[in-house]
Amino acid sequence: MDQLKNVLQHSSLDILLQQEVTLGSSREVNTGFYIARSTPYLIDLIRKAICMCENSMVQNDQTAVNALLAPEDFGIRWGVLPACYYARSHGFPPRRDIVLHHANVTSTVREKAVQLERVQKLISGNFLARWSAIASEALDYASSGRLFGMLWRRFHQFSP
């Protein structure tokens, strides 16, 4: 916890959030895990996000916060957490130096538990445990259809 407080204090920002994805220069953030100072700007952001969820078609706080941060920022000073604060949406496998794992890109509690077990094997397991976790993740990726979808998008990216 002290390490996370230090990250925020040294940033001089109001809030640090996880990036949703680490590809390119995406400004999309993940609101599942963040650290913040209690400032009027942060309170305004949270109030506006709640209002947006209650009074519009926006279904969740993450969509609302991203919509609010993108066009105006209304004075809030924000940034993203270092990559050692890992979310599954950052890709797999995670770096070996992660400090925190946010089990996202899941639909059920069981999927979260499996994801947490795999990351634990990757970070603290022996050689066989690490390769078992990678193989299990690859099999799930392929059987879920995400592999086919990724290959399909890549194919069409280069086709005339």
- What confidence tens digit (pLDDT) does each residue in 113-141 have? 999 999 999 899 999 999 999 888 888 87
Count of beta carbons in the 10 Å neighbourhood of residue 67: 15
Supply 8's token pair.
């925020």
Task: Round to the nearest angstrom and report the end-to-end CA distance of the chain.
Answer: 51
- What confidence tens digit (pLDDT) does each residue in 26-71 have? 788 999 899 999 999 899 999 999 999 999 888 889 999 998 886 6
Judge whether residue 18 has pLDDT over 70.
yes
DSSP-derived 3-state class of residue 72: coil
* pTM as predicted: 0.79
The Cα-based distances of 64 to 31, 41, 69, 86 in angstroms read 10, 15, 9, 22
Residue 151 or residue 92, greater confidence: 92
C-beta separation of 97 from 70 below 8 A: no
C-beta separation of 87 from 100 below 8 A: no
DSSP 8-state code for residue 43: H
